[in-house]
Amino acid sequence: MSDALMNTYGRLPVTLVRGEGARVWDDGGREYLDALAGIAVCGLGHAHPAVADALADQARTLVHVSNNYHIPAQQELGRRIAEHARQERVFFCNSGAEANETAIKIARRYGHDRGIETPRIVVCEQAFHGRTLATLTATGNPKAQAGFGPMLEGFDRVPFGDVDAIRALAGDQDGIVAVMIEPVQGEGGIRPLPPGRLAELRALCDEKGWLLICDEIQSGMGRTGAWFAQQHESVTADVTTVAKALGNGVPIGACLARGDAGETLVPGSHGTTFGGNPLACRAGLAVLDAIEQDGLVERAAVLGERMVRAFHQALGGLDGVREIRGRGLMIGIELDRDCGELMRRALDAGLLINVTAGSTVRLLPPLIITDDEADRIVDGVATIVRDFLAEG
């Protein structure tokens, strides 16, 4: 293999060259069942015909123009994604990190517009918001930050979903303008907020005049059984970020906002070269069409519940299994020990999975998987977990 690439990834020894639905094939022709979907990117699976057709058609028509001009597909995608997210304004960009950077800039500008010279944002332990310097600062993982200091000023960290800690912080710290949170922590170990906690946060933000920012980069686009995970709590954030599954593999992110937050950015205050270009937005529109027409939000809720129930039957009560949790098709199996090597064992068994937070098996299968494929994922993962734990 080429040694020209920076050594930023610990890659598994396989070269994937083709995909169809929930299955992929390596360069030797071996088939794998994908229970990771490119870390929640390929919600419609691989080589989805509608996305492929939209991309081919747009590539023959107009791939890119700058945001100096109106782009019909961008306007249509903005209208439809804002409607699903219950937001009013959209800024399109290229990635989740860029969407979160936009949210952070909105929060700071929102504070400055109210005379707050040093606006501060409350973030959570074990959060993951990206790898740019601002989003890395917001990320609650010291390992990810190591070697990249100094981090930026203006962030205060509390335990995940600890509303009392945020209330206490408000008494000690001036200048808070926003709370930034993932309704379901993905990289942090598939941890949903306890029931009612997001509604408490919404009420606190309303009381204090703060913005509630929901990072739905991983949990958005139907994955949890609602278009956005905040909707399980009937909460609407002031700012919502989304990326990953929005383009089903075509890079696109979006920062959505409503009310005053949606009016904060003005011409010249923010921008991007590639964000929201015709190609990416045609992919996004094809994704929305497929999710709506095939009822994939509801499908994720039903299938996720079924898979979690099956994992409880297969692994519940087993020594070494600390917790099985999830929401929709975001499923985590936390063990009492480091289990990174399970990714390699799953590969040997013909499965693509992930391990996050050191000890949690993370499963993010495509929303289009069949019942039979879901059963195969449960059987395969349960087998390798049991074998791993039996070795002590």
Q: Which residues are catalytic?
A: 128, 215, 244
Is the alpha carbon torsion for 251, 257, 261, 265 positive or negative?
positive
Give me the helices (H) in 243-341, please: 259-262, 278-293, 296-315
Chain-centroid distance, C-alpha 155:
21
- Token reading at 113: 């517009």
Q: Which of 366, 392, 372, 383 is CA-nearest to residue 35? A: 366
Q: What angle do CA 229, 19, 345 make, to 5 degrees?
A: 80
Distance CA 285, CA 276 (A): 11
- Token reading at 37: 């979907």
Three-state SS letters, 104-139: HHHHHHHHHHCCCCCCEEEEECCCCCCCCHHHHHHC
Is the alpha carbon torsion for 124, 128, 129, 132 positive or negative?
positive
